[in-house]
Amino acid sequence: MRSFISQANAAGIKAIVKQQFELAMQILATGLVPIVEPEVDIHCPEKAKAETLLKTAILEELNKLAPDQLVMLKITLPEEDGFYADCVSHPNVLKVVALSGGYSLKEGNERLRRNHGVVASFSRALLGGLLLQQTDEEYNAVLDATIQSIYEASNT
């Protein structure tokens, strides 16, 4: 379940987080673990403010969950190091994963290393170095190196 945040709009962010958790409750009712994914655009003019509004809304919804209701959070790598630590340690959060959000592999890995307890869920950054013109050997070598670098950045 992905929502895209392009502005630091308090009412809009609160509404999408509420909607995400309403859907999460439906998923939880089936015995599955929902992935709540409110992505903040890396080009948002007030990205840090949007992240603050988002974290507040997420924690508000997390605190409404019963002890046995676990969710995963998939977030954009934040401007402030360790910003989602409250979410990482929240008893209703199984795992916090970060999407690359359009950051380069290098930038994504650097930001990920500074956010302990958050692991990568990169797709754009994972595929960024792969080219149609590469031989199988080159392709596999680039992919292996990329996976290793993301793994190491996640291992904090």
Residue numbers annotated as active site: 37, 74
The strand order across the sheet containing 118-120 reads 2-5, 35-40, 71-76, 93-99, 118-120
Continuous segment of H or E residues that includes residue 106: helix 105-113
Q: Phi and psi for 39 in degrees, rounded to 5?
A: -85, 125
Two tokens, residue 103: 């950051």
Which residue type, as a one-letter code, is found at position 69? Q
The token duo for 84 is 């989602």
- Within the chain, strands assigned E span 2-5, 35-40, 71-76, 93-99, 118-120
Beta bridge partner(s), residue 72: 35, 95
Task: Retrieve residue 40's tokens.
Answer: 């903040």
